[in-house]
Amino acid sequence: MAQDYYNTLGVSKTATQDEIKRAYRKLAHEHHPDKNKGNEGKFKEINEAYQVLSDPNKRSQYDRFGSTGPNMGGSGFGGFNPQDFTSGFNVEFEDAFDIFSDIFGGGGVNTRTRARRERGVDLEMDLDLTFDEAVFGVEKELTLEKKDTCEKCQGSGAEPGSKINTCPKCHGQGQIKTQRRTIFGVMQSASTCDRCDGSGKIPERSCSECRGTGAKRRQKNLKIRIPAGVENGQRIRITNEGEVGYRGSNFGDLYLRLHVKPHPKFKREAENIYNELPISFYQAALGTEIETPTVDGNVKLKIPAGTQSGKVFRIKDKGAPRLNSSSRGDHFVTVHVVTPTKLTKKEKELFKKLAEETGESVEVEEGFWDKFKK
């Protein structure tokens, strides 16, 4: 009975190409014959299924007729060559190379590992800012302990005055290449040289300060410029201020996670700033000009006569700067009319007289009070 290719790879008939590829890679690792619990028969089935399902034309024919025909796949697995991964088996060479690299210790994975080792570690730290520092920017002095370039050997790993020679084990290649016979033929693999740790060079005499690593842990003081307009929770990157890599190679980066302290008067949303301001009943009724605080100091705000409580006024260009821009947001003021609670006898008389003269009254719609009845 012919195998169900979807069942073989453990995917549904609606699986995407990425899902099929991930399933194939996982099963190929698991069942490869050269692994302890490998299964050659299962491995062949997995490759046969992937050969069909990874090709849109073959997959379409398989979905329609349950087969791919005599010239489109099948169980002809014998005589397989690793180079067939770019043709007959319709597998991207990069994916196949990664699989065999993981199984046999191939150069592809180790090359990337070496590249990662040549770059130092990224660091991250928290930084507290005041509200105004976040709005206008600030220069901060930081002290952090990190792996930095050895000052004695300047990162070379060699004792000053001694030579740096080509590694005799890998002959400067940084890798040791080996060949191994497998069911696929002769496979060549490469592993990082353990003598020079992949650098291809070794010092004649190792630095007595860093013992040949080119790096030394120490405290470093930094002056960091925080740009105007940053926000709470934002993370900014300071390039090349992380830890140094092996033997003076590239530095990692330093990431600062910002924590902005709240302001007692203002609230901020993006580039806009908000505050609330109480005004008296008389100011709201008659109109006035008052001062309101902003991040730039007090500014005058005109309150027109008849202003209602909750009215929002906009003051242009008095908000926070937009990050990496010369423009700024706006400042919004919400006024709240404060009704007097304690009136003098004279004030009460004046209010009564005012009410009589204006004849003002509040009309209540019919049925309004009914909802308050029990």
Q: Is 210 annotated among the ligand-binding residues?
A: yes
Q: Is 178 inside a domain boundary?
A: yes
Q: Are residues 143 and 253 in the same domain?
A: yes
Domain that holds residue 329: 267-358
Calpha distance 297→317 (Å, rounded): 13
Give the per-residue pLDDT at 363: 57
The whole-model pTM stands at 0.57
CATH, residue 42: 1.10.287.110
Compute and round to an integer the Cα radius of gyration of the chain: 37
Q: Is 368 inside a domain boundary?
A: no
Q: Is 114 inside a domain boundary?
A: no
Calpha distance 303→91 (Å, rounded): 73
Calpha distance 281→309 (Å, rounded): 9
CB atoms within 10 A of CB 63: 13
Q: Is 205 inside a domain boundary?
A: yes
Q: Are residues 164 and 251 in the same domain?
A: yes
**Residue 236, strand partner residues:** 256
Q: Are residues 128 and 255 in the same domain?
A: yes
Calpha distance 82→184 (Å, rounded): 6
Q: Are residues 273 and 215 in the same domain?
A: no
Alpha helices in the chain (DSSP H): 5-9, 17-31, 40-53, 56-65, 93-104, 107-117, 131-136, 281-286, 345-358
CA angle, 62 then 68 then 72, to 5°: 140
CA angle, 237 then 241 then 245, to 5°: 120
Q: Is 153 annotated among the ligand-binding residues?
A: yes
**Residue 275, strand partner residues:** 333
Q: Is 272 annotated among the ligand-binding residues?
A: no
Q: How far does the chain reach from its first CA to its final CA, in angstroms?
A: 80
Strand 215-226, strand 138-149: pairing? antiparallel
Q: Are residues 149 and 252 in the same domain?
A: yes
Q: Are residues 98 and 127 in the same domain?
A: no
**Residue 158, strand partner residues:** 206
Q: Is 365 inside a domain boundary?
A: no
Residue 261 and residue 131 in contact, taking contact as beta carbons nearer than 8 Å: yes
Q: Is 82 inside a domain boundary?
A: yes
Q: Is 193 annotated among the ligand-binding residues?
A: yes
For the chain of 374 residues, list the mean pLDDT of each consecutive stretch of 10. 82 89 85 73 87 88 69 40 35 44 45 56 94 96 92 89 88 82 72 79 88 88 94 93 81 94 96 95 91 96 95 96 92 92 82 73 59 54
Q: Is 109 inside a domain boundary?
A: no
Residue 145 and residue 218 in contact, taking contact as beta carbons nearer than 8 Å: yes
Q: Are residues 352 and 277 in the same domain?
A: yes
Give the per-residue pLDDT at 87: 33
Name which of 305, 303, 329, 327 is nearest 315 in CA terms.
Answer: 329
Residue whose token pair is 């196949």? 96
Q: Is 246 annotated among the ligand-binding residues?
A: no
Give the per-residue pLDDT at 73: 42
Q: Are residues 128 and 254 in the same domain?
A: yes
Considering Cα of 106, then 107, then 109, then 110, what sign does the dihedral take? positive
Residue whose token pair is 């009319």? 337
Q: Is 71 annotated among the ligand-binding residues?
A: no
Residue 148 and residue 244 in contact, taking contact as beta carbons nearer than 8 Å: yes
Residue 332 and residue 269 in contact, taking contact as beta carbons nearer than 8 Å: no
Q: Are residues 226 and 308 in the same domain?
A: no
Q: Are residues 128 and 245 in the same domain?
A: yes
Strand 272-280, strand 331-338: pairing? parallel
Number of independent structural domains in the chain:
3
Give the per-residue pLDDT at 78: 37
CB atoms within 10 A of CB 121: 14
